[in-house]
Amino acid sequence: MQPTTLVIMAAGMGSRYGGLKQLETIGSGGEVFMDYAIHDAVIAGFDKAVLIIKKENEADFRRVIGNRIEDKIDTTYVYQQLPAHRIKPYGTAEAVLCCKDAVTTPFAVINADDFYGREAYVKIHKHLSTSQDSAMVAYYLKNTLSDSGTVARGVCKVDASGYLQEVDEQLAIPKDNDYPQDTVVSMNFFGLHPSIFPLLEEGFERFLKTADATRDEYLLPREIDLLIKAGKLNMKVLSSSDLWHGITNPADKDIVIAAIRKLEATGKYSGI
């Protein structure tokens, strides 16, 4: 089985949350979200982890989690820089571009501040090991909402063969919404191949020419949507029945901690 890489996007600013969500302690042993991601990825068969961070936060990442995960998986750090004319990085698609020299195998992309559940890693690893198509792990919208505020989700349209047709990025979905119960959404969990990098480079050049470079974001779900509609990308949708856990607003933290404690009690995440 060919090697696979887990790319973790951890350079976000946490503007709505008010701090580095990526390094918030959620486990009883001091674990952060990435501890659980690495744990599940290693069990699924991933060989390497690439952490996309801001250079100025490297010491904190190495102190909080780096020393632990480097004993479990080959780990590389790459940096998403904050341009002088912006208050936030360019976005998730540009973040993936930052790791093009560090990734030479099929790879999965995740957020550093989300708990996805083991099923997602197992399914995406199997797909990347056996198919040349890209893939996305989709979740039911009802399993990804926040009790304390709105969430940003990519609402997906899937064809009869299980391939993604469209991602409609919605930036403020409340707990009470009018979407059907079986609506599936993207949670920024994608399975890609290195052939995506030239396509993202072309897209980023277009973005810089047409967008407001001081505030607009070059987002991965939006770029994937454009590539699919242009016939340049095929993306299989892999569904997960797991509950997603994450921190969008400060009040979410206690909810996430309670959910993690329940999972720890099952023994599934002991010894992380």
86-127 pLDDT per residue, tens: 888 899 999 999 999 999 999 999 999 999 999 999 999 999
What pLDDT was estimated at residue 228? 95
Cα 189 to Cα 153: distance, rounded to the nearest angstrom: 12
pLDDT of 235 reads 98
5 vs 266, higher pLDDT: 5
Confidence of residue 18 (pLDDT cuts 50, 70, 90): very low
What are the backbone dihedrals phi and psi of residue 188, each rounded to the nearest 5 degrees, phi first? 60, 40
Between the alpha carbon of residue 204 and those of residues 32, 96, 141, 209, the distances in Å are 31, 11, 29, 9
Confidence of residue 19 (pLDDT cuts 50, 70, 90): low
Check whether 231 has a pLDDT greater than 90.
Answer: yes
CATH topology for 5-265?
A: Spore Coat Polysaccharide Biosynthesis Protein SpsA; Chain A (3.90.550)
Distance separating alpha carbons of residues 14 and 21, to the nearest angstrom? 6
Region for 84 from its dihedrals, namely left if φ exceeds 0, alpha if ψ lies in -120 to 50, beta otherwise: alpha
pTM above 0.85, yes or no: yes
Percent of the chain with pLDDT over 70: 97
Contact call for residues 248 and 171 (beta carbons, < 8 A): no
